[in-house]
Structure 1
């Protein structure tokens, strides 16, 4: 009986997509809710307000990074789901693990915003990018091994999805290593990688 139940569990990709959409929406909302605006008691002039807003730069940078990160991973997961024929128990739990890492991003974002000059905060943030990437790669290799991919998905598409994850994670890792030189150089490189994958123009040769 347990074997039969495991065989029929987690077949609905629609329910997984719906759950994912909800979690991503909540995570994106928490990012902006965690931005702390200047206190009215501490601002008494236009100049003080401008200085207070400028002091919020780490929060805005961390918010931009994380919103882009969530958008990229949401698009990556949806791309995979669009090419999967049916779900399975194991695939469901792999994606639940992926969503677990997504729920942690608002926390690592806040940590980075508060301690942007500390390597530990930056490396923990990078780890929060590495883990969902690893889960997506695991998901895709799993569906290939288990023949859960739609018949019309070509070999080129299968390879493109794998390369997308591997190249992106390699670039993120290089960006994280730049913290040896400067945290700001590291953050700047990671943002450029994210912009490349999110909104780069559709011409020329792009990374991945």
Structure 2
């Protein structure tokens, strides 16, 4: 379907996506193990607990920042959209399925990230999001659903920046073969790329 469907509102879709992103960001903190209530706890035990949750909290921060950048990216994209059609709507729904999967794949990464296989769900999750995101943008361009005054240069710049969401998970997968526990740090490249842009 190449003609925009007037029954589909980009504002309604944007609101749905905002809500889903907010829920996914909130659920992430559930992956950090809360302290158990123990009577007569000593200060060294508290210190040991705090040290033990550092990897969980780092995973939470990385995932939270990734979801934040994906949300900012989504929010920025809506300003270029003139209309949406049912195909774009369904691509967005597939993307949201992948977004709400991030807390689960983050929890797997946190628990089993010292093994390469434990990093696979997280990296594949973000790779799928990247592929869908690029596909959505290409769909908008191909079907003339963007605002009329957007320049070819802007379209090309946005297209290039979206490809980093495919490249970075692939780099992380390669790193995970050699040092799985640190492959999540590769995602800081997204923040660097975003700041440079």
Instruction: Give TM-score scaled by structure 1 length.
Output: 0.87
Partner residue, 1:91? 88
List gaps (5 residues or longer) in structure 1: 201-205
Matched, 1:181 2:178: yes
List gaps (5 residues or longer) in structure 2: none
Matched, 1:12 2:9: yes
- RMSD, aligned CA: 2.0
Could you tell which deviates more after superposition, 114-123 or 164-173?
Answer: 164-173
**Contact kept? 1:38, 1:52, Cα under 8 Å:** yes
How many Å separate the matches in 2 of 1:126 and 1:81?
Answer: 26
Could you tell which deviates more after superposition, 33-42 or 155-164?
Answer: 33-42
Q: CA deviation at 1:142?
A: 0.6
**Contact kept? 1:43, 1:49, Cα under 8 Å:** no
Q: CA deviation at 1:33?
A: 2.8
SS of equivalent to 1:97 = helix
Of 182, 189, 195, the residue aligned with 1:193 is 189
Q: CA deviation at 1:79?
A: 1.8
Partner residue, 2:142? 145
Inter-CA distance 100–147: structure 2 relative to 1 (3 Å threshold): same
Q: CA deviation at 1:42?
A: 7.7
Partner residue, 1:39? 36
How many Å separate the matches in 2 of 1:156 and 1:8?
Answer: 27
Aligned residues: 196
Could you tell which deviates more after superposition, 138-147 or 172-181?
Answer: 172-181
Moved over 6 A (4+): none
How many Å separate the matches in 2 of 1:105 and 1:17?
Answer: 19
**Contact kept? 1:58, 1:116, Cα under 8 Å:** no
Partner residue, 2:61? 64
How many Å separate the matches in 1 of 2:106 and 2:40?
Answer: 26
SS of equivalent to 1:8 = coil
Q: CA deviation at 1:187?
A: 2.2
How many Å separate the matches in 2 of 1:42 and 1:123?
Answer: 39
**Contact kept? 1:16, 1:92, Cα under 8 Å:** yes
SS of equivalent to 1:41 = coil
**Contact kept? 2:98, 2:128, Cα under 8 Å:** yes
**Contact kept? 2:126, 2:165, Cα under 8 Å:** no
Instruction: Give TM-score scaled by structure 2 length.
Output: 0.91
